[in-house]
């Protein structure tokens, strides 16, 4: 059994209170509960399994907000326990106990989307070992028996074996404890889909534009507007780094400003974070370069000096707004208790705020309890519970008698899940081993359905499953499954929240866009205009920079910092090699003065007022020409421009020799800047190749592009 396709509606319509949950608000019978993301989907599942009539409405997509931008941890909170002890704070202690209990339920109800993760605490002084040892043992004790290994100590040599990139100096040893990790957006989607399978009305990309009230000011319904086709955006203060992660995470409990930072293996990459600052509420927090640089700086403090973690190693970045309950006594966000509150307004709107991913289920249970009591709702046993999985032989232990059973209700895909499920997938469908493991860990027993939706490859192996990116195990069948069974309505829904490609590698997500749009067009019957809208709206949001909104800040802050402008290490000259200037031979500007031309569009207005009054340099131009002549090139001096051209031939070998020639000038304090992002400059080609008559050429272009990207990622 699978959820029905997303409901089709008119552009606007009214929803009666008798059947409603609003994506920020739940209406059940006469109850209205406002929430967001994970908690909202959890409320829908809790309410529907108590026999209540439920509708879940999400303004954007499931997990499009902060719920998809978490640390990916399912944790009790070691640092909260430390605060509880040192500050004699019972609220922090209670938070840890509750979270550890919820962690157990979390991993039990969604074993395919969550897992145990060993986390290392590096220790730089001998006297810290007993301190942290005692703390982790108390953490183990509070967790009780969950069938996992208890915390343990590692000597320096063992710690380096487990985490080879760790800095050897100032390392005494390490303590390892266990917490949970999960795939947050897929967890959120699975909650919503499970609620739908139990009978809830579930819809995304639908906004509540007005709440309807009776003459007494009580809520009676809501007016909704459909946002398909709709925009979507990406965000940023955790980052994904190109690395070879171990199977162990690492937490630094004492950063330069007292915040905790982590490095965790996730989906084949390493994620690092996080910052934690007060902010202005906005629906679309944009990446802050300062936060990314701070994270990288803290990483370098723990990584061996021979490993250079560069800004270019950041493959993706995101941020979200954490919903903290305000405490007037708290000095900063770091000291706030991660608790939650539930409030009922005079009009009958129940609001749930605060909390964290780990405790979503408890928050949902309490919300429904309040709604049942406040509005005298009649819960009832759930007769004929649906068979929501691919197997009938597993009983999840849920007794749907009208009480809360979400601690036992397994999510879709969990019933027939086994860590070895990938083996029969390989045997039956002929998918790649990496792909089979990924499908097993992302869809559980639904991996059978996903695999069956993969097209034949016309190759001996793999027999099925065309990757949408050669760098990652996401395949075409996932796109079809997302549309048919998980309500995906935009390319970003698929790339960011059904698969996690946009969070793992923004560049790879952009390159996967043509294939994803093609498959979705076939599934949803998109016409040319609808496909064009996806092309218009999807590329820049995936990269976390809608309409280049951050370019002015980057040019005014990050670029000068990288080049050392205004400091003793400032270069004596800057060479710009740009894809905006094509010539038959390498061409070099040699004018003593120059003008600035703008050959782009759709940038912020401030970008067109940027001026760069630095003079040209005939002398540096002569040095460049001499260096290129030495490499066997035939450069020309051109007095009309202030940059170095690239070649119309697009010959990789010739461009490599140009780079080799220019690199020698670094020894004489000359900075070299490459201008032109490959994917942006390829968008025109991609659009042209998407025509049905050019699909064969598109496949060849993808193959060549993937070859280049793999080679570059290994530099």
Q: Are residues 190 and 248 located together in one domain of the fold?
A: no
Tokens of 232: 């979507």
Largest CA distance in the chain: 86
Q: What angle do CA 13, 16, 17 make, to 5 degrees?
A: 140
Tell me the three state secondary structure of residue 402. coil
**What residue spans of 308-421 are helical by DSSP H?**
360-374
What pLDDT score does 482 carry?
97
What pLDDT score does 585 carry?
82
- Which among 548, 547, 541 has a CA at the least distance from the CA of 233? 541
Q: Are residues 272 and 301 located together in one domain of the fold?
A: yes
Highest mean pLDDT among 327-336, 375-384, 688-697: 375-384
* Number of alpha helices (DSSP H) and beta strands (DSSP E) in the chain: 23, 24
| 520 occurs within a structural domain | no
| Residue 25 pLDDT > 50 | no
**Which CATH number belongs to the domain containing residue 593 in this structure?**
3.40.830.10
What pLDDT score does 47 carry?
92
What pLDDT score does 355 carry?
76
Q: What angle do CA 59, 61, 64 make, to 5 degrees?
A: 105
Q: Are residues 652 and 578 located together in one domain of the fold?
A: yes
| Residue 392 pLDDT > 70 | no
Q: Are residues 592 and 658 located together in one domain of the fold?
A: yes
Q: Are residues 73 and 62 located together in one domain of the fold?
A: no
What pLDDT score does 307 carry?
81
- The structure tokens 């399912």 sit at 74
Nearest-angstrom CA–CA distance, 79 and 405:
30
Q: Are residues 173 and 303 located together in one domain of the fold?
A: yes
CA distances from 452 to 202, 345, 430, 447 (A): 25, 49, 11, 8
CB-based contacts of 126: which residues, under 8 Å, 6+ apart? Answer: 172
Tokens of 513: 């866009």
Q: How confident is the model at residue 215 (pLDDT cuts 50, 70, 90)?
A: confident
Contact between 232 and 64 under an 8 Å Cβ cutoff? The reply is yes
For 110-122, what is the mean pLDDT?
Answer: 92
For 151-161, what is the mean pLDDT?
Answer: 92
- In sequence order, the β-bridge partners of residue 467 are 475
| 479 occurs within a structural domain | no
Q: Are residues 218 and 273 located together in one domain of the fold?
A: no
pLDDT in tens, 571-618: 888 888 877 777 888 888 887 777 666 665 555 566 666 666 667 788
Q: Can you say whether residue 704 is alpha, beta or left, with left for phi > 0 and alpha for psi between -120 and 50 degrees?
A: alpha
- In sequence order, the β-bridge partners of residue 154 are 174
Tell me the three state secondary structure of residue 358. helix
Q: Are residues 294 and 213 located together in one domain of the fold?
A: no
For 680-701, what is the mean pLDDT?
Answer: 60
For 18-45, what is the mean pLDDT?
Answer: 58
Percent of the chain with pLDDT strictly greater than 70: 72
Strand bridging mode 201-203 / 22-23:
unpaired
What pLDDT score does 545 carry?
45
Contact between 82 and 335 under an 8 Å Cβ cutoff? The reply is no
| 694 occurs within a structural domain | no
What pLDDT score does 614 carry?
67
| Residue 143 pLDDT > 60 | yes
What pLDDT score does 63 carry?
85
Average pLDDT, the chain: 77
Tell me the three state secondary structure of residue 344. strand
Nearest-angstrom CA–CA distance, 448 and 617:
64
- The structure tokens 């560069």 sit at 310
| 88 occurs within a structural domain | yes
Nearest-angstrom CA–CA distance, 461 and 520:
25
Neighbours of 456 (CB within 10 A): 12
CB-based contacts of 647: which residues, under 8 Å, 6+ apart? Answer: 582, 583, 584, 585, 586, 654, 655, 658
**Which CATH number belongs to the domain containing residue 79 in this structure?**
3.30.9.10
Highest mean pLDDT among 29-38, 158-167, 407-416: 407-416
Strand bridging mode 269-273 / 249-252:
unpaired
CB-based contacts of 632: which residues, under 8 Å, 6+ apart? Answer: 657
Helix (H) or strand (E) holding 515: helix 506-524
3-state secondary structure 410-422: CCCCCCCCCCCCH
Q: Are residues 32 and 51 located together in one domain of the fold?
A: yes
Strand bridging mode 31-34 / 349-354:
parallel
What pLDDT score does 232 carry?
30
CB-based contacts of 623: which residues, under 8 Å, 6+ apart? Answer: 665, 668, 670
| 143 occurs within a structural domain | yes
Neighbours of 574 (CB within 10 A): 17
Nearest-angstrom CA–CA distance, 326 and 170:
38
**What residue spans of 111-241 are helical by DSSP H?**
128-143, 156-162, 184-197
Neighbours of 360 (CB within 10 A): 26
E strands, 218-348, where?
Answer: 219-226, 238-241, 249-252, 261-266, 269-273, 314-318, 340-344
Tokens of 470: 């050669």
Contact between 314 and 268 under an 8 Å Cβ cutoff? The reply is no
What pLDDT score does 608 carry?
66
| Residue 278 pLDDT > 80 | no
| 101 occurs within a structural domain | yes
Q: Are residues 78 and 196 located together in one domain of the fold?
A: no
Q: Is 168 exposed, middle or buried, given 0-12, 13-18 or 19+ CB atoms closer than 10 A? A: exposed
What pLDDT score does 603 carry?
58
- The structure tokens 């075409």 sit at 476
Strand bridging mode 206-213 / 219-226:
antiparallel
Q: Are residues 665 and 592 located together in one domain of the fold?
A: yes
- The structure tokens 């309490």 sit at 366
Domains: count for the chain = 3
Instruction: Give the CA radius of gyration of the chain.
Output: 27
Contact between 656 and 561 under an 8 Å Cβ cutoff? The reply is no
| 499 occurs within a structural domain | no
pTM over 0.85: no
| Residue 6 pLDDT > 70 | no
Nearest-angstrom CA–CA distance, 605 and 599:
14
What pLDDT score does 8 carry?
37
**Which CATH number belongs to the domain containing residue 59 in this structure?**
3.50.50.60
| 652 occurs within a structural domain | yes
Nearest-angstrom CA–CA distance, 287 and 420:
39
pLDDT in tens, 522-551: 999 998 888 888 877 665 444 444 344 455
pLDDT in tens, 403-434: 999 999 999 999 889 999 999 999 999 999 99
Residues across the chain = 715
Instruction: Kindly give the interhelix angle for 360-374 and 90-109, rounded to the nearest 10 degrees.
Output: 100
Q: Is 637 exposed, middle or buried, given 0-12, 13-18 or 19+ CB atoms closer than 10 A? A: middle
What is the dihedral sign for C-alpha 251, 255, 259, 261? negative
For 101-130, what is the mean pLDDT?
Answer: 92
Q: How confident is the model at residue 3 (pLDDT cuts 50, 70, 90)?
A: low
3-state secondary structure 623-643: HHHHHHHHCCCCCEEECCCCC
CB-based contacts of 500: which residues, under 8 Å, 6+ apart? Answer: 183, 185, 186, 267
Tokens of 451: 């695999």
**What residue spans of 460-505 are helical by DSSP H?**
476-485, 491-492, 501-504
What pLDDT score does 114 carry?
94
Query: Of 242 and 263, which is predicted with more confidence?
Result: 263
**Residue range(s) defining the domain that contains residue 609:** 567-676
Q: Are residues 352 and 246 located together in one domain of the fold?
A: no
Helix (H) or strand (E) holding 28: strand 26-28
């Amino acid at each position: 059994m699978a959820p029905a396709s997303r409901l089709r509606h008119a552009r606007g319509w009214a929803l009666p209170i008798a059947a409603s949950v609003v994506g920020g608000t739940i209406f059940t019978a006469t109850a209205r509960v406002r929430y967001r993301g994970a908690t909202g989907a959890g409320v829908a599942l809790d309410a529907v399994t108590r026999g209540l009539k439920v509708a879940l409405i999400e303004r954007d997509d499931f997990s499009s907000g902060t719920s998809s931008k978490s640390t990916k941890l399912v944790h009790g909170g070691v640092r909260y326990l430390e605060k509880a002890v040192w500050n004699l704070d019972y609220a922090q202690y209670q938070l840890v106990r509750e979270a550890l209990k919820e962690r157990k339920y979390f991993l039990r109800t969604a074993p395919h989307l969550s897992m145990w993760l060993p986390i290392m605490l590096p220790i730089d002084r001998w006297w810290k070992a007993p301190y942290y040892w005692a703390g982790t043992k108390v953490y183990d004790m509070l967790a009780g028996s969950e069938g996992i290994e208890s915390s343990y100590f590692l000597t320096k040599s063992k710690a380096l074996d487990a985490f080879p990139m760790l800095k050897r100096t100032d390392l005494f040893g390490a303590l390892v404890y266990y917490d949970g990790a999960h795939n947050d957006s897929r967890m959120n989607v699975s909650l919503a889909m499970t609620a739908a399978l139990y009978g809830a009305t579930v819809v995304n990309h639908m906004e509540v534009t007005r709440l309807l009230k009776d003459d007494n000011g009580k809520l009676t319904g809501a007016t909704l507007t459909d946002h398909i086709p709709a925009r979507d955006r990406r965000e940023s203060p955790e980052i994904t780094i190109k690395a070879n992660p171990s199977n162990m995470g690492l937490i630094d409990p004492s950063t330069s400003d007292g915040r905790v930072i982590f490095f965790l293996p996730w989906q084949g990459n390493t994620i690092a974070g996080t910052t934690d600052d007060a902010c202005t509420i906005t629906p679309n927090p944009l990446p802050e370069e300062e936060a990314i640089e701070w994270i990288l700086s803290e990483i370098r403090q723990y990584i061996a000096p021979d490993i250079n973690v560069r800004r270019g190693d950041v493959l993706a970045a995101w941020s979200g707004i954490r919903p903290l309950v305000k405490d007037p006594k708290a000095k900063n966000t770091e000291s706030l208790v991660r608790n939650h509150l539930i409030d009922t307004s005079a009009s009958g709107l129940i609001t749930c705020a605060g909390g964290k991913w780990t405790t979503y289920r408890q928050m949902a249970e309490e919300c429904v309890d309040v709604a049942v009591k406040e509005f005298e709702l009649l819960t009832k046993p759930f007769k004929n519970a649906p068979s929501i999985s691919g197997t009938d032989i597993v009983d999840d232990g849920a007794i749907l008698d009208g009480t809360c059973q979400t601690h036992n209700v397994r999510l879709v895909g969990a019933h027939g899940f086994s860590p070895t499920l990938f083996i029969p997938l390989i045997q039956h469908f002929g998918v790649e081993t990496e792909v089979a493991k990924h499908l097993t860990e992302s869809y559980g027993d639904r991996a059978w359905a996903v695999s069956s939706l993969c097209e034949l490859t016309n190759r001996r192996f793999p027999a099925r499953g065309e990757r949408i990116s050669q760098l990652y195990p996401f395949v075409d069948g996932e796109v079809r499954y997302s549309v048919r069974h998980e309500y995906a309505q935009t390319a970003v829904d698929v790339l960011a929240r059904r698969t996690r490609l946009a969070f793992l590698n923004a560049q790879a997500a952009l390159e996967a866009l043509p294939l994803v749009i093609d498959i979705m067009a076939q599934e949803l019957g998109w016409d040319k205009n609808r496909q064009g809208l996806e092309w218009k709206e999807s590329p820049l949001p995936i990269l976390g920079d809608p309409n280049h909104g951050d370019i002015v800040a980057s040019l005014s802050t990050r670029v000068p910092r990288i080049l050392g402008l205004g400091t003793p290490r400032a270069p004596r000259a800057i060479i710009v090699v740009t894809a905006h200037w094509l010539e038959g031979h390498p061409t070099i500007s040699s004018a003593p003065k120059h003008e600035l031309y703008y050959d782009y569009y759709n940038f912020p207005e401030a970008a067109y007022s940027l001026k760069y009054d630095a003079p040209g340099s005939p002398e540096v131009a002569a040095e460049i020409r001499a260096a290129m002549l030495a490499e066997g090139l035939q450069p020309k001096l051109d007095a009309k421009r202030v940059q170095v051209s690239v070649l119309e031939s697009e010959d990789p070998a010739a461009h490599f020799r140009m780079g080799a020639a220019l690199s020698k000038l670094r020894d004489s304090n000359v900075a070299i800047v490459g201008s032109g992002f490959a994917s942006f400059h390829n968008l025109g080609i991609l659009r042209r190749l998407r025509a049905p008559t050019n699909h064969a050429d598109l496949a060849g272009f993808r193959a060549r592009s993937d070859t280049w990207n793999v080679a570059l990622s290994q530099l």
